[in-house]
Chains A and B, each alone.
Chain A
């Protein structure tokens, strides 16, 4: 008689022993698989993070673009109140994300330039045929023009004065390329505005409208048209100080400094305008050119 009880015990031990290598193998495989899965997930997360970062960056850039598109009026009003030059504010904005501005440059520059060209060529002349201003001039003047538009929408005395004090050259130099998109959009609005204003002026001969057109053309650098509309305004109403100032400034810009001084002198005699006197002195000293 065999001791089956003892043999069964030994057999159980043997089975457990024989399964140990398989168990170890399975556990090792599970460990390896887990490690691989963990590693894969980790690498995927990293790549996702990189993607997200890039997406966030592009989102940020687009958001910043939008902000810059919508903000300029506010920013400038704030800067004007703080008596700070515009270019400083723009530089401050640029500093935290220099890469973004570079991408903006690449993306925005070309289409905006083409668009500006089209707009410029499609602008109708209302009264006098004028020579088409050069591309560079247009770009530079657009900055001021947009400011004028913003002035109309948000009329603030302080802003206008400070803007007047700013040297045009500075704005030309400091205006970054990224602003050009904003400028283009504003310009289009102002072009439409001028068209509409001129149409309305043709209908009702309102000097306020012709003065607006004169200002706009002056801002755009179209001094001939500015001169014309200022002259028209003065003919209708010779008591509008601003119109005389635009008239004189346009003459200076057109190289007729003596005529400008003469006209201002006559106007000062008539109106005793302090602003006209200041401009007269500046032109005489050569500060305003």
Chain B
């Protein structure tokens, strides 16, 4: 029963995973993605990709990696490598094909990098770059100055610390791309496309403009929050279905009551 339930299938669509197959092509996002691809082709030292959590930075990097890893040398690091020596050793192994078991410092790695001649400049994608220390970030800047390696850095835009204003980014970043929350219309397309990709046409048709507006009001168009909310929403539908209480809620469109219940459960509404 569970496997055939449209609500279970729809629930699984909104599992919070970073899978390039789940990437939803939206007009604005598509434009940004194309400009990012173009930036990589150009002789830029560093590219900054920033935005609030849940705006799709990780998905962007994943998609970029997925699209380019067969055509050019590209390396994605979703989890930050906090240890400096390990960071250099990882880069030496992946980018330069040099395996070093011992400690590797910045000077040693620079020498390895200078000795290496790349046919095409390798691209290193660093997600969650706000977790790197300032010292390491400074060294990443110096590495990019060699033009032997290109960095795409994704980080959170925090209010406390405007990273773009930092000196080492101000002087050296040639391109910065900001990712934002979706608009109402984008959110509707996002939800419906996501569901239709998983062949959940019935549930996709349950999202009319009014329902999406309500969801947008709760999540501010944030993709991660939306995924969380909709996952809980379909989990609720699933529960009602299991308890044979579907008559309590509307099924021709998403029940506002269930949206609010899901928001209470996920903490979007403080009840």
Residues of chain A whose beta carbon lies under 8 Å from any beta carbon of chain B: 1-2, 4, 7-8, 10-11, 13-15, 17
Of B172-180, B184-192, B209-217, B238-246, the one with at least 4 CB within 8 A of chain A: B238-246
- In the docked arrangement, what's the CA distance between A279 and B260, Å? 117
- Measured CB to CB, the closest approach of chain B to A242, in angstroms, equals 111
| CA–CA, A248 and B265, complex, Å | 125
How far is B239's CA from A1's CA once the two chains are assembled, in angstroms?
Answer: 6
Residues in chain B near residue A13, CB distance under 8 A = 271
Query: How many of B's residues come within 8 Å of A, CB to CB?
Result: 15
How far, in Å, is B244 (CB) from chain A's closest CB? 12
Nearest CB to that of A16 among chain B residues?
A: B271
Name the 8 nearest CB pairs between A and B, nearest first.
A14-B271, A7-B261, A10-B271, A11-B261, A2-B239, A10-B264, A4-B239, A2-B235
Task: Give min CB distance, A18 to chain B, whole Å.
Answer: 9
Q: Chain B contacts of A10 at CB under 8 A? A: 261, 264, 271
Q: Could you tell me if A14 and B265 are in contact, using CB atoms closer than 8 angstroms? A: no
Check A14–B236 contact: CB distance below 8 A: no
Contact status of A1 and B236, CB under 8 A, knowing A7-B264, A8-B261, A13-B271: no
Could you tell me if A11 and B240 are in contact, using CB atoms closer than 8 angstroms?
A: no
Determine if A1 and B242 form an interchain contact, defined as CB atoms under 8 angstroms apart: yes
Number of CB contacts from chain A to chain B under 8 A: 33
Can you pick out 26 interface pairs between chain A and chain B where the beta carbons lie within 8 Å of each other? A1-B239, A2-B232, A2-B235, A2-B236, A2-B239, A2-B265, A4-B236, A4-B239, A4-B240, A4-B243, A4-B245, A4-B261, A7-B261, A7-B264, A7-B265, A8-B261, A10-B261, A10-B264, A11-B260, A11-B264, A11-B271, A14-B260, A14-B269, A14-B271, A15-B260, A17-B271
Q: Which residues of A contact B239 (CB under 8 A)?
A: 1-2, 4
Given contacts A11-B261, A14-B264, 8 further A-B contacts (CB under 8 A): A2-B235, A2-B236, A4-B240, A7-B265, A11-B264, A11-B271, A14-B260, A15-B260
Q: Is B21 part of the binding interface, using a Cβ–Cβ cutoff of 8 Å?
A: no
**Cα A13 to Cα B245 with chains together (Å):** 21
A-contact bits for B223-265, CB 8 A (1 contact / 0 none)? 0000000001001100110110100000000000100110011
Main SS at interface, chain B: helix
Q: Which residues of A contact B242 (CB under 8 A)?
A: 1
- Chain A residues positioned under 8 Å from B261 (CB to CB): 4, 7-8, 10-11
Tell me how far the C-beta of B231 lies from the nearest C-beta in chain A, rounded to whole angstroms: 11
Q: How far is the CB of A16 from chain B (nearest CB, A)?
A: 10
> DSSP majority for the A interface?
helix
B residues less than 8 Å from A7 (CB atoms): 236, 261, 264-265
Q: How far is the CB of A259 from chain B (nearest CB, A)?
A: 121
Q: A11 contacts B257, CB within 8 Å?
A: yes
Chain B, residue nearest A17 (CB): B271
* Minimum distance in angstroms from A281 CB to a CB of chain B: 118
Q: Which of B243, B264, B271 has the most CB of A within 10 A?
A: B271
Docked pose: A2 CA to B233 CA in angstroms: 10
Which residues of B are found within 8 Å of A1, using beta-carbon distances?
A: 239, 242
Question: Please, how many angstroms separate the alpha-carbon atoms of A70 and B212 in the complex?
Answer: 89
Considering the complex, give the chain B residue whose CB is closest to the CB of A4: B239
Interface centre among A7, A10, A14 (most CB of B within 10 A): A7
Report the separation of the CA atoms of residues A17 and B235 in the bound assembly, to the nearest whole angstrom: 25
Q: Which residues of A are found within 8 Å of B243, using beta-carbon distances?
A: 4
Q: Name the B residues within 8 Å of A4 (CB-CB).
A: 236, 239-240, 243, 245, 261
- A98 CB → nearest B CB, Å: 75
**B271 partner residues in chain A, CB cutoff 8 A:** 10-11, 13-14, 17
Q: How far is the CA of A158 from the CA of B225 in the complex (A)?
A: 115
How far does the Cβ of A21 sit from chain B's closest Cβ, in whole Å? 15
Residues of B within 8 A of A8 (CB): 261
The CA-CA distance from A2 to B232 in the complex, in Å, is 9
The residue in chain B whose Cβ has the minimal distance to the Cβ of A13 is: B271
Residues in A with CB closer than 8 Å to B260 are 11, 14-15
Q: Which residues of B contact A17 (CB under 8 A)?
A: 271
Bound CA span A233–B182, Å: 126
B246 → A minimal CB distance (Å): 12
Q: Which residues in chain B, 59-103, are within 8 Å of chain A measured between CB atoms?
A: none
Taken together as a complex, chains A and B put the C-alpha atoms of A8 and B264 apart, in Å, by 10
The answer for the CA separation of A15 and B264 in the assembled complex, in Å, is 11
On chain A, the residues within 8 Å of B236 by CB distance are 2, 4, 7
